[in-house]
Amino acid sequence: MNLLIAAIASLISVLGYSLISIYIGRVGQKYGAFWTGFWIQILGLPLTLLFLPIFGLKLSWGIYLLPIAIFGIFMSFVFILYCKVLSIGPVSIVQAISKLGVLITFLLAIIFFHETVTLFRILGGILIIAGAIMVSVDVKSLANKKIKLLTKAVPLALLQAVASGILFVILGIGVKYFDGFSTSVGTRLFTVPTFIFISLTQTSSKKLHIGSSWKILFFIAFLDVVSFILYNLSVQTYQISFASIMQGTIPVATAIISYLFFKERLSLSQRVGILIAVLGAISLGM
């Protein structure tokens, strides 16, 4: 039963983050990476608190609040770093490398939380990561680029992947001690002040006025809130390694949604990658 709940929560979370990845580009081009993230977090805190009557709050001061604080503060910088790396590109290389963060979380969770390791789970993790990379990488586009350009963003992308992989394991400590929703609230209590502090160092303040974009920003922030709560619920009810690897299917879900609803084409390698990732998800569930 716990596995079923975790699987459903993870699946909905993946769909939410997939929609975010589709829509966030429109806002990011207008406001820039930092201010887009700023508004998502600012709007995300009150939206998270709307779910308080449903889940209740079990957050308290103490040593176990430290992992949540570490995640909330440092994940803000990791997010900004990720957006910076995306601006350097190529996007397909950056997204492929970012999947290493999921793999790091998977391995560290098994080591430090002594989570169950089976042949099916290892095979599922490998297939999901491999499939996600195949879906992310635009082979035809990369073939026309120089090696120097391809490797320009690699060091920062690796740093971002390793940092995020470690931070999500740290987040798991808070989830296991408190609960998924309380951890979501606690994280934003540290992320929002961090973004506000960083905003004071920005030279331009005109991006504080979101104007007509408030609807799509509100939509993205709401999806982010729901997806994060459900990810933490998956960690709470089952295992960090399972929830983290399921997040690796986000590029796959994004490609499928883009194909079905936005009529974007899928290359042969992307189609094969989707099939491999689906087989990996089935293996992970077994």
Whether the per-residue pLDDT at 277 is higher than 60: the answer is yes
212-241 CB burial, b ≥16 within 10 A, e <16: ebeeebeebbbbbbbbbbbbbbbbbbbbbb
Q: What is the pLDDT of residue 152?
A: 65
The band of 86, judged by pLDDT with boundaries at 50, 70 and 90, is low
Q: HSE of 11 in the Cβ direction (CA atoms, 13 Å)?
A: 11
Q: What is the pLDDT of residue 237?
A: 94
In the chain, beta strands by DSSP E: none
84 in Cβ contact with 147 (< 8 Å): no
The CA-CA-CA angle for residues 137, 139, 142, to 5°, reads 95
Whether the per-residue pLDDT at 73 is higher than 90: the answer is yes
pTM listed for this prediction: 0.87
Q: What is the pLDDT of residue 16?
A: 92
171 in Cβ contact with 187 (< 8 Å): yes
The band of 87, judged by pLDDT with boundaries at 50, 70 and 90, is low
Q: What is the pLDDT of residue 123?
A: 86
State the residue for tokens 């635009």. Answer: 138
Q: Would you call 30 exposed, middle or buried from its count of C-beta atoms within 10 A (0-12, 13-18, 19+)?
A: middle
On average, the pLDDT of the chain sits at 84
**Mean pLDDT confidence for 100-118:** 86
Q: Which residue has the higher pLDDT, 61 or 189?
A: 189
Q: Which residue has the higher pLDDT, 13 or 251?
A: 13
Whether the per-residue pLDDT at 206 is higher than 70: the answer is no
Question: 266-274 — which CB contacts under 8 Å span 24+ positions?
Answer: 267/138, 267/139, 267/140, 269/134, 269/137, 269/139, 270/134, 270/135, 272/134, 273/130, 273/131, 273/132, 273/133, 273/134, 273/135, 274/131, 274/135
Whether the per-residue pLDDT at 95 is higher than 70: the answer is no
Q: Which residue has the higher pLDDT, 49 or 131?
A: 49
**Sequence spans of domains, the chain:** 2-285
Spatial CA neighbour of 176 closest among 224, 111, 107, 239: 239
**Mean pLDDT confidence for 152-161:** 81
Compute CA distances 202 → 195, 196, 198, whole Å.
11, 10, 7
Whether the per-residue pLDDT at 235 is higher than 90: the answer is yes
Neighbour tally for 161: CB within 10 Å: 23
The band of 92, judged by pLDDT with boundaries at 50, 70 and 90, is low
Q: What is the pLDDT of residue 136?
A: 72
**Percent share of the chain, pLDDT over 90:** 34
Query: Hey, which of 86-90, 148-152, 165-169, 275-279 has the most confident mean pLDDT?
Result: 165-169
Q: Report the alpha-carbon distance of residue 248 to residue 103 in Å, rounded.
A: 8
The band of 248, judged by pLDDT with boundaries at 50, 70 and 90, is confident
Q: Report the alpha-carbon distance of residue 64 to residue 48 in Å, rounded.
A: 21
Q: What is the pLDDT of residue 207?
A: 61
Q: Report the alpha-carbon distance of residue 98 to residue 153 in Å, rounded.
A: 12
Which segment of 35-44, 78-87, 180-189, 201-210 scores lowest on mean pLDDT? Answer: 201-210
Q: What is the pLDDT of residue 47?
A: 96
Helix (H, G, I), strand (E, B) or coil at 272: helix
